[in-house]
Amino acid sequence: MMAGRLSFRNITALAPMVRVGTLPMRLLALDYGADVVYCEELIDIKMAQCHRVVNEVLDTVDFVAPDERVMFRTCEREKNRVVFQMGTADPDRALLVARLVEQDVAAIDVNMGCPKEYSTKGGMGAALLSDPDKIEAILKKLVSGVSIPVTCKIRILPSLEETVGLVQRIEKTGVAAIAVHGRLKEERPRHPLHLDHIQAAARAVSIPVIANGGSLDLVKSSGDIAAFRQASGASSVMLARAAMWNASVFRERGPLPLENVMEEYLKHAFRYNNHAFNTKYVLCQMMRDKVESPLGKKLQAAQTSREISEAFGLQDFYQLTQDQLQLKRDALQSCSRPERLMVEGGVSMMAVRFERREYPPHITPKMFLLEWSRKEKLQQPLYEMEQRSQDRSFQSTVTVEGKKYRSTLWEKSKKFAEQAAAVVCLRVLGVPEGLIGEEDSGLVCKRKLNGTAEEEQSKKRHVFETQQEADDGDLMKSQKL
């Protein structure tokens, strides 16, 4: 750190890796000695739709998509050392996303080197290498628009002169560092690394150059990192596959057995509620050719975090972690009610947000409000929707017995806006809303919904009853005959 800002000089970094560079892997790399960790490339269009959520149960900050998927999760421990890498081809959208995350990360990086289609489509990733004007526009916009360092990661161009010309042009935008993967965009890991291009780039600019691409050729253990730095002439080194295969490659005292590393990775995954499919994918990448071993087959058969924990003999740790998280959820729920009520223009309002994880599957506040209205012989709740133009967020107002209720917070989806309005109404009325751990109110029957919505169940009941009436009518006719 220099003057409160992340320095990229003389560091060893975990490189951005799609599906691998999630929070558990980043924390693992920090455990073993990495100075800086990059998240996986996240596409600006998807991130721009996210809202920032402070997750008090996990002690994380989550950036959540409208469908409730967590696109990016970070925590206090990595705040000063995590670099947020985005895929973008639009300066304005890049700045929007950078400002969304800048208070929770140490730097912003733009991916200009990934050759895969998911990155290059739409002009992102390595596609930017053929459009230096756009590179310049994006980086200048970011450098002038955020308070944290901005960097980029590129691949080399066909000639030394072109590579040098590109890094010199990038330096003039004001970025803090440039990561250079020493291969052309058409080349893959099996192709030799072009160290001469990294050397030329490092000599051509005054800002730090981070050498990347040496996992297979040059870095096979922690002792090789310094040799790679010296051979490349770069200030710093960034590791991808070598770190993915065994994150203890960063460890000064030498790597640890893979079994130990996988166990530590799993502890982070369980502690931070990492998605089971992502955890499984990362472990399979670690195991490489051992994925067909007895342990590998158990891992491949596992479908949940609990089953993964059982495969690795960590079921006691998993259960202890889950119990601790549930205790924290219960404590937070008991402390978080009631919210402060405001009444303005005849509308009762609270600053509440609908959190799907706080309710059992297939149970929602809207269902409880509807059932309560039926029980009280009131008209069905009426929802009105408003959309905010600047960010396309939604706010809903629900009317029950002539009175209006609304959350003061805006949601990224219409469904969640309606649920938030229902929460406000139920809390003002003192009616149960279906929270996990809430005493059974009898408002919603405990039938198995089998993953279907209440409306679908109602339709099925109506079809069944209609069919039953028809069958009864046919039976009576046949008896008369």
Beta pairing partners, 399: 382, 404
Cα dihedral sign, 261-266-271-274: positive
Residues 169 and 132: their CA atoms lie apart, in Å, by: 8
Q: Kindly give, in sequence order, each residue whose CB lies less than 8 Å from that of residue 81, ignoring residues fewer than 6 positions away.
A: 6, 30, 35, 36, 37, 106
Instruction: Please state, in angstroms and rounded to a whole number, the distance separating the CA atoms of residues 125 and 254.
Output: 34
Specify the 3-state DSSP secondary structure of 118. helix
Q: What is the DSSP letter of 217?
A: T
CA triple 464-469-472, angle to 5 deg: 120
Coil, helix or strand at residue 365: helix
Are 78 and 27 spatial neighbours (Cβ–Cβ below 8 Å)? yes
SS3 265: helix
Q: Which residues pair with 111 in a beta bridge?
A: 153
- Measure Cα distances from 236 to 8, 189, 232, 280, 402 in Å: 7, 20, 9, 31, 66
- Mapping DSSP to helix (H, G, I), strand (E, B) and coil, where does residue 384 land? strand
Q: Is 39 a catalytic residue?
A: no
CA distance 84 to 135: 17
**Ramachandran sector of residue 152 (left: φ over 0; alpha: ψ -120 to 50; beta: rest):** beta
φ and ψ of 5, to 5 deg: -115, 150
CA distance 392 to 396: 13
Q: What's the full length of the chain, in residues?
A: 481
Which residue stretches of 194-349 are H helix?
195-204, 224-232, 241-245, 258-271, 276-287, 294-301, 305-311, 315-335
Query: Considering 39, 50, 114, 425, which one is annotated as catalytic?
Result: 114
CA–chain centroid gap for 284, Å, is: 20
Listed as own residue / partner, the contacts of 396-400 with beta carbons closer than 8 Å and 24 or more positions apart are 396/420, 396/421, 397/347, 397/421, 398/369, 398/422, 398/424, 398/425, 400/369, 400/373, 400/425, 400/429
Q: Which are the catalytic amino acids?
A: 114
